[in-house]
Structure 1
């Protein structure tokens, strides 16, 4: 039987409960036979993998690897994943570098099939590195089967501080959010923007998001979300807005989009 997290409440109250109990719940998941068997299988087999083709040919290994990067939905797209892995990330025109979802780039870089003559699967520390990410992501997946808003928030809590710390321009960070569907949904919802917001000009989307961030937090910069208090405040806004949306509250998306375009 697969692990089922305890989520007795939704909304902000449920989010608070999850945060208070997350360490204990993650420990319970890691102790399940299913999780332990997957981890043992990965530890035993991954060091014997020399090529991307070998990895995608082992569906269990591939599932664990993809889950570690939030890409488990691609487990049946073997040819595509093989191409992502073989292309590496060093060449500017590689497939992983072209894709909007930067998780593919992280996946390709982590395994190193296209970057090095000897892949990173041969490193003694590699199994622990991927399993640590697998634990986090598989827990989020289990949470998402009951409450997708909680899964989105857990992902954002991990990804936003990492993005905030990247040595790129703040505008590039905003573009990274817009190119990452889960982060986009969190930020867009937290700032009260409708789904139709994604249809307006990309530069205008960045301008609007910067304006909303400035108004809500006193700064338009993504770097501010390295501050745990500001990150928590953003998550609370997301939870409140997501709960309102679930209850059908608020203005129509068309009216909000028009208001934005007129600003």
Structure 2
């Protein structure tokens, strides 16, 4: 089995082709066809959430599939919109809800909310990328996290934003070799520590991001070995061996500043 870094690289080096393969999957193809054929027929929030197939597609596209059952919650967010900074969606820590409301902005656009490209092909593009990441995660959760971080990186402007997203925070903690218990520390303390170890502007720099994700995937592999041989070695000697991680890289990973 390929290690985490190699698996991530195989997908990341040509995201376009990887997404094309996802799009060609029969189930994905059928669901996407249904979505595009029906989304513009939706003229109200009530109509939107009533069509379960349509609504679930939209929710998954925004990474919210686990909340697809909470229709009353989503109706409230959609009705209040995002024009008011104190609206329900804007006050939620998880900004995926505000992004969802922005895509289907019935509060601002009424019956025409679904005619915009972000509610049509824009949502399809998000759905395909989301499915790609989920498929990768079935084999290796570290690959899914790396792909997700790569996708979100250009929009990351502060470590408070990172901490508001459990997946992003997990990547950073792993890359800094921090225990999961660190997540329970005071938020300001976590941000201060991150700022001491990472430069937020480097996250949006492709080269620096590549180095950061190489570190993350390598440390993830050590803690979550992909190879059965590696797993056995970890059980015998009390710690996972660094399968697929060179000695030079292991030394480089001791430098915490990025």
| CA–CA distance in structure 1, aligned partners of residues 18 and 188 of structure 2 | 41
- Backbone CA RMSD of aligned residues: 1.9
Question: What is the count of residue pairs matched by the alignment?
Answer: 228
CA drift at 1:182: 0.8
Runs of 4+ that moved beyond 4 A:
247-250
Corresponding position of 1:235: 213
Q: Check conservation: 2:103, 2:118, Cα contact below 8 A.
A: no
2:132 and 2:80 mapped to 1: Cα distance?
30
Flag structure 1 segments of 5+ consecutive residues without an equivalent.
1-7, 165-172, 214-219, 251-263
2:90 partner SS: helix
* 2:86 matches 1:93: yes
Rounded Cα–Cα distance in structure 2 between residues aligned with 1:116 and 1:23:
32
Q: Contact (CA 8 Å) 1:88, 1:94: kept in 2 or not?
A: yes
Q: Deviation at 1:180?
A: 0.6
Partner of 1:146: 139
Alignment TM-score, normalising by the size of structure 1: 0.81
Which residue, out of 48, 61, 70, partners 1:68?
61
Match of 1:77 among 38, 49, 70: 70
Cα distance in 2, alignment partners of residues 141 and 85 from structure 1? 26
Taking structure 1 as reference, are residues 201 and 123 closer, same or farther at Cα in structure 2, changes over 3 Å only?
closer
Which runs of structure 2 are paired with 1:177-256 in the superposition (5 Å)? 177-213=162-198, 220=199, 222-247=200-225, 249=239
1:223-248 CA-to-partner distances (Å, cap 9, x unmatched) read 22221010011111111111122257
Give CA deviations for 1:143-185 in whole Å, capped at 9, x if unaligned.
Answer: 1122111111111001011224xxxxxxxx1101001111111
Structure 1 125/109 Cα, relative in aligned 2: closer, same or farther at 3 Å? closer
Q: CA–CA distance in 1 between the matches of 2:73 and 2:163?
A: 23
| Higher-RCO chain (CA-CA 8 Å, sequence separation at least 6) | 2
Q: Which residue of 2 aligns with 1:11?
A: 4
2:5 matches 1:27: no
Does structure 1 conserve the Cα–Cα contact (< 8 Å) formed by 2:82 and 2:90?
yes
1:58 to 51, 58, 68: 51
Q: SS at 2:190's partner residue?
A: helix
State the 1:10 CA deviation. Answer: 2.8
